[in-house]
Amino acid sequence: MTITPPALSVFETLESEVRSYCRGWPAVFDRAQGSRLHDEDGHTYLDFFAGAGSLNYGHNNPVLKRALIDYIERDGITHGLDMATAAKRAFLESLQNIVLRPRDLPYKVMFPGPTGTNAVEAALKLARKVKGRESVVSFTNAFHGMSLGSLAVTGNAFKRAGAGIPLVHGTPMPFDNYFDGQMPDFLWFERLLEDQGSGLNKPAAVIVETVQGEGGINVARAEWLRALQSLCERRDMLLIVDDIQMGCGRTGGFFSFEEAGIVPDIVTLSKSISGYGLPMSLCLFKPELDIWEPGEHNGTFRGNNPAFVTAAAALNAYWADGQMEKQTLARGEQVEQALLAMAAESADPGVSFRGRGLVWGLEFTDPARASAICARAFELGLLLETSGPRSEVVKLLPPLTVSPEELDEGLRILARSVRETA
């Protein structure tokens, strides 16, 4: 497929230089369905990006689209602040009956603003309010959002620098395998907590991603996560799991922490919780932490009722019978075998891969190689992005609803792109 770059004049002359994804994918997209997007010029692209994880059920999923259209056509509430609505009730009941009760999770549900970073800000604020302390521990290569509180617990230097002011009250610790197995887990963290001269204020909470998506697809071991929960319990710190990109089935189970058998104190969700790419986020927390005063944390767009409609439809369609988890794990095995073959075929001994469920990363020693692979894949009709602190990882994030044939097609394009950029 030969792609002629489109005329982008209005984007280049009017839109801010901050735009990013469009630079790697010079096309004007017009339609999308399932795992594919179509541009104005008639080219078709297989999507292994999935709206940065916000389209786990694909583009314009017909089940969710039907529910949304029906709701809009009957003049259902669109904007509801935190008022009680029929759409919100239906979503909460589905969440309780399909997700929380079967997993014995007693969480209260808070609707902050509609983005992931809104959920993180709410989680940080609540943890500090509950514990009466300011410090929050995060981990190397973490990414939790672009607002100031979230940036303070984010590791990426480029993103942090954009704040323009000091980012305070956050302390980074080594993520799992940061020292390549040369140091016992949490040795540094425990030592600082014990030492009255360490300078580490007693933290209110620890925030962690079980798989660091933007940080390079760094996968925490189940035993590491269990040890982290134990540490938090012993040291009177709340455990926050940021499940914004890895939740809603991305790693297999609905929550990414299920495999480890832990129950975080606070969980943040966004991206695919709406099911349709509509803005929506949740902050879940144990009932004893619900010490908010009415209106103490709010937001004009926390009541996105169309998102409640598609979220409830997604839960009922994909999570009521347990099949989605099995399918995702099977698709993940398909990806793993393909990446194993690519790494074995590569002349670069530094090529490695890692992942869980349907999130995988193929790492290269030269970051330019990863970018070149993504560029070549786009020319061949596949959307991929890079991740990692140096953009050295090719990141695979297809919809969970991708068919085995579509997955195989995309993996073949990726393998060809790897070969042709060697």
Q: What is the pLDDT of residues 290-301, one digit of tens each?
A: 999 999 999 999
Whether residue 3 is predicted with pLDDT greater than 70 in this model: the reply is no
Whether residue 220 is predicted with pLDDT greater than 90 in this model: the reply is yes
- What are the start-end ranges of the H helices in 173-294? 187-194, 222-234
Residues facing residue 396 across a β-bridge: 360
Per-residue pLDDT of 84-142, as tens digits, reads 999 999 999 999 999 999 999 999 999 999 999 999 999 999 999 999 999 999 999 99
Say how far apart CA 86 and CA 98 lie, in whole Å. Answer: 18
Residues facing residue 10 across a β-bridge: none
- What was the pLDDT predicted at 37? 98
Mean pLDDT of 354-380: 97
Residues facing residue 205 across a β-bridge: 136, 238
Say how far apart CA 414 and CA 196 lie, in whole Å. Answer: 52
Residue whose C-alpha is closest to residue 250's, from 387, 399, 119, 386: 399
Say how far apart CA 249 and CA 326 lie, in whole Å. Answer: 10
- What was the pLDDT predicted at 4? 53
Instruction: Name residue 113's amino acid.
Output: G
Q: Which residue has the tokens 């230097």?
A: 157
- What was the pLDDT predicted at 346? 83
Residue 341 or 4, more confident: 341
For the chain, the average pLDDT equals 96
- What was the pLDDT predicted at 9? 86
The DSSP 8-state label assigned to residue 417 in this structure reads H
Per-residue pLDDT of 135-194, as tens digits, reads 999 999 999 999 999 999 999 999 999 999 999 999 999 999 999 989 999 999 999 999
Whether residue 8 is predicted with pLDDT greater than 90 in this model: the reply is no
Residue whose C-alpha is closest to residue 238's, from 285, 200, 198: 285
Whether residue 1 is predicted with pLDDT greater than 80 in this model: the reply is no
Per-residue pLDDT of 230-277, as tens digits, reads 999 999 999 999 999 999 999 999 999 999 999 999 999 999 999 999
Q: Residue 113 CA to chain centroid, in angstroms?
A: 17
Residues facing residue 44 across a β-bridge: 38
The DSSP 8-state label assigned to residue 139 in this structure reads E
How much is the pTM?
A: 0.96
Say how far apart CA 387 and CA 382 lie, in whole Å. Answer: 16
Residue whose C-alpha is closest to residue 356's, from 263, 185, 178, 218: 218
- Supply φ then ψ for residue 377, to 5 degrees: -60, -40
Give yes or no for a contact between 251 and 356, defined as CB atoms under 8 angstroms apart.
Answer: yes
Question: What are the start-end ranges of the E strands in 40-180?
Answer: 44-47, 108-110, 136-139, 170-173
Give yes or no for a contact between 400 and 57, defined as CB atoms under 8 angstroms apart.
Answer: yes
Mean pLDDT of 54-67: 98
Question: Above pLDDT 90, what percent of the chain?
Answer: 95
Per-residue pLDDT of 267-309, as tens digits, reads 999 999 999 999 999 999 999 999 999 999 999 999 999 999 9
Say how far apart CA 149 and CA 131 lie, in whole Å. Answer: 17
**58 φψ region: left (φ > 0), alpha (ψ -120 to 50), beta (else):** left
Q: DSSP for 201-212?
A: PPPSEEEE-SEE
Say how far apart CA 93 and CA 95 lie, in whole Å. Answer: 5
- What was the pLDDT predicted at 350? 81
